[in-house]
Every structure is written in C-alpha cells, then in structure tokens.
A and B are shown apart, each in its own frame.
Chain A
C-alpha cells in the first residue's frame, strides 16, 4: 500500500529510573552500529519510556532484545514543516481541524536540509496519513531516516 512507506519504525524501550540505564541503552545501539536519528525520553515516577527513530530499526530492535531490554517496535509518522515562526502552529491547526488525536510527539531539526521534522504518534496512523496527505502536509517516508 502507498501509505506503508510513511510508517516510520520507532523503537520504544522500558527503562527503570536508575543510574546508567539510559547509557546502557545507547551503548547497545552504538555497539550494533545503529545511528539515532531522533529520540525522546518520557518519564513517570518509576520508569521511563525511551523512544528512538534510527537508521537501522530492525538491527536496533534485535540487539536490544538480545541484551534483555524490554523493547517494542511500532510506527510513528513524520511531518516536515518550515523551520520558521508559525510552522508548528499551522500544522497543529490542520491536525486539530482534521480531528486527529495525538498520543505524543517529538521533534528534530535536520541540519542537512534545514527541515524541522515532527514525529507523531496518532491513535490511528492509517487515518492520520490519509487525512494529512489530502490536506497537503509534507510527509516524510522511511527512506528519509535510513538514508541520511
């Protein structure tokens, strides 16, 4: 399906709020030769959820599993906006008008093409891709993250 290429694989890792846990995760990725493209750390009182978008998602998933991490592979979508005043606000207005529900989001700026990239987890990713494409948003595909 045409939409599949817009599903960006994301790695989520359960980590306890303890010294060195975050480091251990990144160390495993380093040893596996995986480059982190974007990431976020969500924390609760007791544990955290580390989320990564990487250049080699399967490799990252496998090596974390092998090292006894609790890890899940899931899909997010990436929307590029202009890195200028109002860029994000315009996009969020569109999302709001389309009645799409955001679970969480995080962001990174690509130095090479000067794009600001928003990574979204929507409740229903297929619906979100469909609606945002129709609304003319610039969706980035998987290759964008594996090839830079």
Chain B
C-alpha cells in the first residue's frame, strides 16, 4: 500500500534529476539563510553550480553532531522563530542536547513521510494503533503520532512505561498495531505472558512498527512469535527529521529511503570515501526539502549498506539494511572491531536463549575481557553439569567463530538484567582509557 504513489514509484532517472534540482536549490537556500553554511560553502567554494550530477554531492563538506553542539541551540535554523512551530531535541546524554526545529511545512512533510512507512507496513485507517514511544522531546512519539493520524488510524497515545497498563490497554481497546522500540516490544510480550495473556487469543495485534535502536533478524523472529504479529523496522533520526526517513515494506527486505526528500550515501568512516556498492559503512544523509533545518551530508554514525535492486513492492527507492551498529558503539576489543549486534545474532540463533543479555567489557592488566550475561531459563539449565557445560561451550565457540575473540558467557538469574522501557542498555564498558 502506498501513501504518495507517484513519488514512491518514480522512475530512478526522474528521481535523480529531482534530487539534483532540489540539492541545487537547497544549497542556495542554506547559503542565504544560515551563516554557518555560508561560511562553510565559501570555504569549500560551493555554489549551486557545483552540482551537475548526483555524484557532485561529494564535493560538499560533512555536517556532524559537533556542528549541532557548536551552534546550540538555534544557530543552524534557516527560518526565524516566528515561522517555527515545533522544537524537539535529543536526550543529550553526552553533553548538550541536539536541538531540531520544524516549520508548518516541515511538520506536513514529516507526517507524510511517516504515513508512507505506515502504509508500507500495511497499516490502514481501520487500525487501532498503540504508541508506546515516549511523548516529549524525543521525535519518536510525536513523529509516529501525526503520521498515523494522517492516514486515519485510531491512536492510543499510551506513551512509554507502565507496562502492565500497556497490556491492559492493548487488550481492552483491541489495539491492532504496536509502535515502540524492539526491546520494549519484547518486554511487553514478557509482561503479557506473566499476566497470563496469550497474544494469539487475547490480543488483536497484527503489525508492529519498531525503531529507534538497532535490532537483529533473530530479534524480529522472537518478537513476531511472542506477540503473533509481523514486525517492521523503520529508521529515522532527529537531526534529519525523526522517524520516517526510511521504513520497510511488506517484503521485509530492507528499509526504503524517501529519496525524494533525502540523499543517502554510505562512506567508510575512516577514509570518508564512498564504500563499494552493497558494502557496509556509515550512512550519510542530506535533506532536500527541510525548511527550518536543512542539513548537508550529515554523519549519522549508523553502520548500514544500501541495496539498489528493484523491490517487488513497486517502490523504486534504495533500501538500507538494518543498521548493524553505530560507529560510536563499535567496541574495539583487543584490536578487533566488535558490534553488539553480532553478539546478539549469535545468541539468538541458539535455541532457548532469552532475549535479555548484557555485554560487560573490562580490562585486566593489559587485556580486554568480555563477559556476556545471559538470563538463564528452563531451556538453558540442566541438572547435569556435563550438559550445562556443553551448552556454555557451544555458545562460547560460536561467539568466538563470529567475533574472532574469546568471550565468557555467564548465566544469570531471570529478571536480573535491567529491563528497558526505551532504548536497551546492552553494553557496560568498564575500561578506563
């Protein structure tokens, strides 16, 4: 199902022409309205005439999170406050938050982009949607809210937290769609089970739209089984617009990027050169239609790959894979690059492993150590020590094969790993550098 079919199925040649045209206009627009970009473009000798083909985007300098911080709070805005109608910001866990703002037109664009990903996942105006993202400064709650309202779905703005109540609302109001982070979806499933609720019989859920944190295919399977739904991934980040940048269609084979609004590139984070087609690298996004906050070549720090092959759904846009991690949550263990998602993939492939785990990195002397805590359950616990050891050895071996380093898996008691109602805290790095 489509929301703006003409745009979503535009042939690639016209799409590229549109991108070049919009990029040229956007350069001129930012130059006139944002002193930061004027200075930067002057420095690099960039004008709209620098862009003749889509590849010319590589002439532009990157924008990073640091640029947002340096211009805190409103230095990057291209419109006066009179025209701004909404302000969101990131959590700011590592210093000042990142501030983003929207004009009326931006909010309309955003609601249309989210409507696209909802339609792509099969959500209709008949659906009852429970949004269990936090409503507030975080773009997830309001972003999904207005997009889903746009398509005419009935929304339960449950916000995050109070999980028992979430389950009760879901059951009593007959929610058919759940929106939250994937880790919270699993937690909701667990709580529902403890409350004696069988998702197959007692709930009407059919679709989940999950985002805001990286998750694996195995995790998707667990969520789909435990809640009896189809789980769709979507992608966005507040610096660009929030959710709606990309989302999966019913083929579930990558997230279609809204290329008539954004240009996506994948680069090697070290060399800053484009990776070979289909290789993993850091996603870089340029906005084409944002009024309040145009952004050029934003370094998302998300590691993904792009797939330009045609999709059965009819959309012509490029698809990005699930991000396998972030350039900044990549762990360097004894010189080896390790993404937490690789660990998750191995764990979830082992039958009976619970979805709750935590990775603890420490340093003993000069050596990094990795301990992975996995919650025990009846499937992982054996009365015979021999079988217990076999299972732990198997998990350790598979992790070693995948990661190339030794790790130590420890079973811990159920419910001893902290549950998250937002983004899961998977890694504890105790090393002091």
Contact = CB atoms under 8 A, between A and B. Distances in A.
Interface string B386-417: 10100000000000000000000011111110
B375 to A, nearest CB: 9
B144 interface: no
Contact of B377 (A10, A70, A74, A104): A70
B412 A70 contact: no
B383 A44 contact: no
A74 B355 CA distance: 27
B376 A70 contact: yes
Interface centre among A42, A46, A104, A121 (most CB of B within 10 A): A46
Given A44-B385, A74-B383, A103-B384, A14 B415 contact: no
Task: Please classify how large the interface on chain B is, using the bins under 10, 10 to 19, 20 to 34, 35 or more.
Answer: 10 to 19
A49 B415 contact: no
B378 interface: yes
B415 A16 contact: no
A14 B385 contact: no
Contacts of B410: 46-47
Interface string A10-49: 1010111000010000000000000000000010101101
A72 interface: yes
Contacts of A46: 410-411
Nearest to B371: A46
A14 to B, nearest CB: 4
B193 to A, nearest CB: 12
Contacts of A71: 378
A89 interface: no
B385 A42 contact: yes
Interface residues of A, number: 20
B383 A72 contact: yes
Interface string B154-175: 0000000000000000000000
B72 interface: no
A47 B386 contact: no
A15 B376 CA distance: 10
B308 interface: no
B384 A72 contact: no
Nearest to A44: B385
Interface in A93-141: 103-104, 121
B389 to A, nearest CB: 8
Contacts of B383: 10, 12, 49, 51, 72, 74, 121
Contacts of B384: 103-104, 121
A104 B385 contact: yes
B36 interface: no
A121 B381 CA distance: 16
B385 A47 contact: no
B376 A103 contact: no
A71 B383 CA distance: 9
A5 to B, nearest CB: 21
Interface string B349-387: 000000000000000000000000000111001111110
Nearest to B414: A68
A104 to B, nearest CB: 7
Interface in A59-105: 68, 70-72, 74, 103-104
A12 B388 CA distance: 13
Given A14-B411, A16-B416, A70 B385 contact: no
Contacts of B415: 68
Contacts of B376: 14, 47, 70
Interface of B: 376-378, 381-386, 388, 410-416
Interface of A: 10, 12, 14-16, 21, 42, 44, 46-47, 49, 51, 68, 70-72, 74, 103-104, 121
For the complex of A and B, the 4 pairs showing the least CB-CB separation, nearest first, are A12-B383, A14-B381, A70-B381, A46-B410
25 contacts: A12-B381, A12-B383, A14-B376, A14-B381, A15-B413, A16-B411, A16-B412, A16-B416, A21-B413, A46-B410, A46-B411, A47-B410, A49-B383, A51-B383, A68-B414, A68-B415, A70-B378, A70-B413, A72-B381, A72-B383, A74-B383, A103-B384, A103-B386, A104-B384, A104-B385
